Amino acid sequence: MDKSKLSVDPVIPNLYRKAREEGISTVFDRYEAQQPQCGFGLTGLCCRHCVQGPCRIDPFGEGPQAGICGATAEVITARNLLRQVTAGAAAHVDHAYDVLEVLEQIAQGTESYSIKDQEKLKQVAFTLGIDTANKTEQEIVEEMCQIIYRDFANSGATPMTYLKANSPRERLETWEKLGVLPRNPDREIREALHQTTMGMDADPVNLILKTIRLGLVDGFAGLKLATDLQDIIFGTPQPVVTEANLGVLKEDYVNIIVHGHVPLLSEKIVEWSRKLEDEAKKAGAKGINLAGICCTGNEVLMRQGVPLATNFLAQELAIITGAVDLMVVDVQCIMPSLAEIAACYHTRLVTTMPIVKIPGAEHVPFTTETADEASQQIVRMAIESYQKRNPAKVYIPREKAKVVAGFSVEAIVKALAKLNPDDPLKPLIDNIVSGNILGVVATVGCNNVKVKHDWFHIELVKELIKNNVLVVTTGCSAHALAKAGLMDPAAAEWAGEGLRAVLTAIGTANDLGGPLPPVLHMGSCVDNSRIGDLVIAVANYLKVSPKDLPIAASAPEYQHEKALSIGTWAVAMGIMTHLGVVPPVVGSSKVTRILTQDAEALIGGKFYVETDPYKAAAGIIEHIKAKRALLNL
């Protein structure tokens, strides 16, 4: 494959060539081997929901227009989308539930974890209506767990407490009117799977409304719940300075990479890498160097300043440096190919979760009870592995970028408070009103091998900031922008004049000796809930609905089902959500029209599909300007 077409990340071509020379195939080669990909699948027109199938609908109208059971294009595409969004929501809810169990174990006295952020605990307790006066920390945690567990045990029609407690009234009314308020999240996931089996729902509108409901399940029982509880246990992020790209690997250190999503594991690896530093020195290394990939990388970057190795699409190339002594993974976005590639080097690949085992990897079971022992064992395995590293196979790229990250809502408010201690949101709002900030866009989501790696993220964001749009970001989008230097305060130079002035004013007021970066890293994909919180705070301040704000979201290179469920939640929040990759629904013009047009009148948000970054930027800016006009700005 032509190296120049793979990525805009400067480290990729050399590593890709190294892989080829060593006879290793990567995601790029496997993608090529899959060409041409099936047109029925690409457009969502293939159904395998029963064993009479697979059935396919001819998009050109010449062949069959219904599956064997009679399901039409609109039924099949809507049903497939609902299944994907349900799977995405299930992944996030399962993640949040794991953290909830640990919170409960803290109340029961486990020594593996503790409460780091009492402030956040009180804030979440307050939101849930818990009276914290005269209660011990343990009592507050117990009560909080009970309330949240009740959502998961609820057998009636009552909507989820966690959603109700965290949503603006106008949104709740809209969702109620549409009949999309979720009840018990587990029940919603179960029902959606039922609803999409053979011989069930054949009404595309009803299927799409259920999809929106599952988006809300994701947003509140997944994203918001996970972020809140993780902040309580591990602390709410505050600004950190670190670095990004494979240049963060170090030749004479034990290099450990954490990859996956849930900080329960990665935080422990950080802790034990620091504690076992001396053992690494005894083994001849200068110390232990930790770096992250994917969203668990974001979690430890935001809270611990751990540097970022790379994002989703380059996870294999990290191993191809030959300098990774051990890669430890938990859940989600882990390519099964890693085991085969690690076997070509001294790299040890370690799985830790009962639901993620990869033949060829070593498995070290990780539970709350074994968290400390397992983490020590894994760090020691890395130290052993370091001694087997083959210098002849090592190539560490030089490239890395400076990153200022850690922008939780709390951190943003704290920075703004330096400008106006009594009314911290006012400077932000004033600058939006004056037009210094034209609007705010969240770029989120993955890499997708169908798009030149990182290219869409970077080009889109450069266009936006040039036009005075403030960009907040999470996930692998944040990684792309970090590696491209957009989280270095020096990148404020690329921002338009108005935005640059605001970034400089905030930076100066906070004694940063320069501006804030034009792109604010708000965390992992579950931390999209932070963006939701910020949107709600600004909307409440202005006494409008989130749907009225001059904002948008974009998933330029998304691939995962989780990205589809997050996008659906954003649309349900009233936010126009751009997709840079065509979603597999275009086989039905009706379903496409509902999602990209009709949705706006119903719920305030809609999907906007555009595969050219410059046109997408223009479309987003046009949307922001239209929203400003409606607010008389």
346 is an interface residue for ligand NFS by CB under 6 A: no
223 is an interface residue for ligand NFS by CB under 6 A: no
The DSSP secondary-structure symbol of 7 reads B
- Between residues 53 and 360, which has the closer beta carbon with respect to ligand SF4? 53
Is 295 annotated as contributing to ligand binding?
yes
- Between residues 446 and 535, which has the closer beta carbon with respect to ligand NFS? 446
Options 68, 241, 626, 629; binder of ligand SF4; rule CB under 6 A = 68
563 is an interface residue for ligand NFS by CB under 6 A: yes
Whether residue 54 contacts residue 184, with contact meaning beta carbons closer than 8 Å, is answered with no
Among the listed ranges 206-214, 239-247, 395-403, 555-563, the one in contact with ligand NFS (CB under 6 A) is: 555-563
Going by C-alpha positions, the residue among 585, 578, 579 that lies closest to residue 82 is 585
Long-range contacts, stretch 28-32, CB < 8 angstroms, 24+ apart: 28/1, 28/449, 29/1, 30/337, 31/449, 31/450, 32/1
41 is an interface residue for ligand SF4 by CB under 6 A: no
Is 50 annotated as contributing to ligand binding?
yes
- Between residues 475 and 619, which has the closer beta carbon with respect to ligand NFS? 475
What is 185-254 written as a DSSP string? HHHHHHHHHHHTSTTS---HHHHHHHHHHHHHHIIIIIIIHHHHHHHHHH-----EEEEESGGG--TTSE
Any idea which residue has 């227009």 for tokens? 65
- Between residues 53 and 514, which has the closer beta carbon with respect to ligand SF4? 53
Options 11, 121, 288, 294; binder of ligand NFS; rule CB under 6 A = 294
Among the listed ranges 65-73, 148-156, 414-422, 536-544, the one in contact with ligand SF4 (CB under 6 A) is: 65-73
Q: How far apart are CA 387 and CA 523, in angstroms?
A: 34
The verdict on whether omega for the bond into residue 36 sits within 30 degrees of 0, i.e. cis, is yes
Q: How far apart are CA 157 and CA 181, in angstroms?
A: 9
Options 210, 224, 562, 623; binder of ligand NFS; rule CB under 6 A = 562
Size of the site for ligand SF4 (CB under 6 A): 13
Is 560 annotated as contributing to ligand binding?
no
Token duo for residue 37: 């990909």
Is 47 annotated as contributing to ligand binding?
yes
Is 69 annotated as contributing to ligand binding?
yes
Q: How far apart are CA 448 and CA 526, in angstroms?
A: 19
Q: Sign of the C-alpha dihedral, residues 579, 583, 588, 590?
A: negative
Query: Which residue's CB atom is positioned nearest to ligand NFS?
Result: 446
Size of the site for ligand NFS (CB under 6 A): 13
Encode burial over 303-323: b for 16+ CB neighbours within 10 A, e otherwise. bbbbbbbbbbbbbbbbbbbbb
Q: How far apart are CA 269 and CA 296, in angstroms?
A: 11
Burial of 72 (0-12, 13-18, 19+ CB in 10 A): middle
Whether residue 91 contacts residue 561, with contact meaning beta carbons closer than 8 Å, is answered with yes
- Between residues 307 and 584, which has the closer beta carbon with respect to ligand SF4? 584
User: Least separation, in Å, of the C-beta of 202 and ligand SF4?
Assistant: 10
Is 38 annotated as contributing to ligand binding?
yes
Whether residue 218 contacts residue 572, with contact meaning beta carbons closer than 8 Å, is answered with no
Is 294 annotated as contributing to ligand binding?
no
User: Least separation, in Å, of the C-beta of 56 and ligand SF4?
Assistant: 9
Identify what 67 binds: ligand NFS, ligand SF4, none; CB under 5 to 8 Å per kind: ligand SF4
491 is an interface residue for ligand NFS by CB under 6 A: no
Q: Which residues bind ligand SF4 (CB under 6 A)?
A: 47-50, 52-55, 67-69, 71, 198
Q: Which residues bind ligand NFS (CB under 6 A)?
A: 261, 294-295, 312, 333, 445-446, 475-476, 525, 560, 562-563
Annotated binding site for [Ni-4Fe-4S] cluster: 261, 295, 333, 446, 476, 525
